């Protein structure tokens, strides 16, 4: 039956979240209703608040979480009630071209591109005060209960601490995978990471795990440098300390530029700088930050003509349903740490304070 619970509803852009009682409909065929136990706050959620990522309102945001299956719709076979799970904002239907390809991971069932804010069948499972509330990229985790399609949920180790592995639902996997999966960083290489939030720090961890010998962390907030060094950065650079453009600074530091660069902010200026600072012939630059809506990049095509590769990465290039359980298993085997990525733990009703901390770089 319908569950009444608390959710953080965003009624319109540039307003605080409103904690409301919502009704969550039962799962239809091939859907799963999840009790959310822990959710992270990601800059992509904030991009919707500011309008940089265009989505329909009212909406329940959140996409980085972990929980327990409450009930399942008919035909669901991969999870059962009581299972610990992570919702997947990049689903894995197993049937579309990207899912069938060994090269791709961006399932055609994702709501990232269309931004419809609805379940795959074109309807919503949330109502509040008699109004239909939109879903966010197939997950909507800022609520005590959510409904996702079966292709958008992964069963994980029942012993996993949900308040930590929820980061595998977005931030950690996105950054770590951008390094090891998308860029395929090689041992002994030099890397530059622009942006040292949770995702950027996860890129640092991925570069270190891949054996990079030099990892240059770039951020305009020097408070981020201690943690970046703790996780593997060898150099930290604040662009504000220099008169010249940051790509020139990095070129001078490295001689020929870096082998791999990562833009983990979502700003067009830094995307071009990251491209320009990588080696002119075989450098690879990866865009990890969500690009702002309605902004274009103008750059000198000679940057690419000489041989550089410019690519994007969503969810770290991982095939979600296959990879998330394995990443959780790796965490349980202590192959990587997640604690340094967690700065604060707040009760759900303080979600607006959490976003204030995000916006002030804390």
pLDDT greater at residue 291 or residue 97: 97
Residues 37, 78 within the same domain: yes
pLDDT of residue 293: 82
For 312-350, what is each residue's pLDDT tens digit?
Answer: 999 999 999 999 999 999 999 999 999 999 999 999 999
Residues 107, 170, 191, 278: which is the catalytic one?
170
Residues 18, 63, 151, 222: which is the catalytic one?
63
Helix, strand or coil, per DSSP, at residue 117: coil
Residue 170 appears among annotated catalytic residues: yes
pTM to 2 decimal places: 0.95
Question: Considering the chain, what percentage of its residues have pLDDT values greater than 70?
Answer: 100
CATH code, domain carrying 302: 3.40.50.720
Q: What integer is the mean pLDDT of 260-282?
A: 97
Residue 323 appears among annotated catalytic residues: no
Helix, strand or coil, per DSSP, at residue 251: helix
Site of tokens 């399932």:
107
Find, among 250, 263, 256, 359, the residue nearest to 311 by Cα. Answer: 263
Residues 114, 244 within the same domain: no
Residues 64, 123 within the same domain: yes
For 209-230, what is each residue's pLDDT tens digit?
Answer: 999 999 999 999 999 999 999 9
Residues 253, 302 within the same domain: yes
Residues 5, 18, 42, 166: which is the catalytic one?
42
User: To the nearest whole number, what is the mean pLDDT of the chain?
Assistant: 96
Residue 47 appears among annotated catalytic residues: yes
288: CB partners within 8 A, 6+ apart:
174, 175, 178, 199, 200, 203, 262, 263, 264, 312, 313
Residues 76, 197 within the same domain: no
Residues 208, 302 within the same domain: yes
β-bridge partners, 59: 10, 134
Banded model confidence at residue 114, pLDDT cuts 50, 70, 90: confident
49: CB partners within 8 A, 6+ apart:
10, 13, 14, 15, 61, 355
Region of 188 on the Ramachandran plot (φ > 0 left; ψ -120 to 50 alpha; else beta): left
* Chain mean position to CA 193: 16
Token duo for residue 114:
């269309």
Segments forming the whole domain that contains residue 306: 183-312
Residues 65, 103 within the same domain: yes
pLDDT greater at residue 92 or residue 292: 92
Token duo for residue 199:
């995702």
Q: Based on the structure, what is the number of domains in the chain?
A: 2
Residues 44, 71, 261, 323: which is the catalytic one?
44
pLDDT of residue 271: 97
**DSSP category for residue 162:** H
């Amino acid at each position: 039956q319908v569950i009444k619970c608390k959710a953080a509803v965003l009624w319109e852009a540039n307003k605080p979240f409103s904690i409301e009682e919502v009704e969550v409909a039962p799962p239809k065929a091939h859907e799963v209703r999840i009790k959310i136990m822990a959710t992270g706050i990601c800059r992509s959620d904030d991009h919707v608040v500011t309008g940089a990522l265009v989505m329909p309102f009212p909406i329940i945001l959140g996409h980085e979480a972990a929980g327990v299956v409450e009930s399942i719709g008919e035909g669901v076979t991969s999870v059962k009630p009581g299972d610990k799970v992570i919702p997947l904002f990049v689903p894995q239907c197993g049937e579309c071209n990207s899912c069938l390809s060994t090269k791709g991971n961006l399932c055609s069932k994702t709501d990232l591109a269309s931004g419809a804010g609805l379940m795959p069948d074109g309807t919503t499972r949330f109502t509040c005060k008699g109004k239909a509330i939109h879903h966010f990229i197939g997950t909507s985790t800022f609520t005590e209960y959510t409904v996702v399609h079966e292709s958008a949920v992964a069963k994980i180790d029942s012993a996993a601490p949900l308040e930590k592995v929820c980061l595998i639902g977005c931030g950690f996997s996105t950054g770590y995978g951008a390094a090891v999966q998308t860029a395929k960083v090689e041992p002994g290489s030099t890397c530059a990471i622009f942006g040292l939030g949770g995702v950027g720090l996860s890129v640092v961890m991925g570069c270190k795990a891949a054996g990079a010998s030099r990892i240059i962390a770039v951020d305009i907030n020097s408070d981020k440098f201690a943690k970046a060094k703790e996780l593997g950065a060898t150099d930290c650079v604040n662009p504000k300390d220099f008169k010249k453009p940051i790509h020139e600074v990095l070129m001078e530091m490295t001689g020929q530029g870096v082998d791999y660069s990562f833009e983990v902010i979502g700003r067009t200026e830094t995307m071009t700088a990251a491209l320009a600072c990588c080696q002119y012939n075989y450098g690879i630059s990866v865009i990890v930050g969500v690009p702002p809506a309605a902004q274009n990049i103008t750059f000198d095509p000679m940057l690419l003509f000489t041989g550089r590769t410019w690519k994007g990465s969503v969810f770290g290039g991982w095939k979600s349903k296959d990879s998330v359980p394995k990443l959780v298993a790796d965490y349980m085997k202590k192959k990587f740490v997640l604690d340094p990525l967690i700065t604060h733990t707040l009760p759900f009703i303080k979600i607006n304070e959490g976003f204030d901390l995000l916006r002030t770089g804390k």
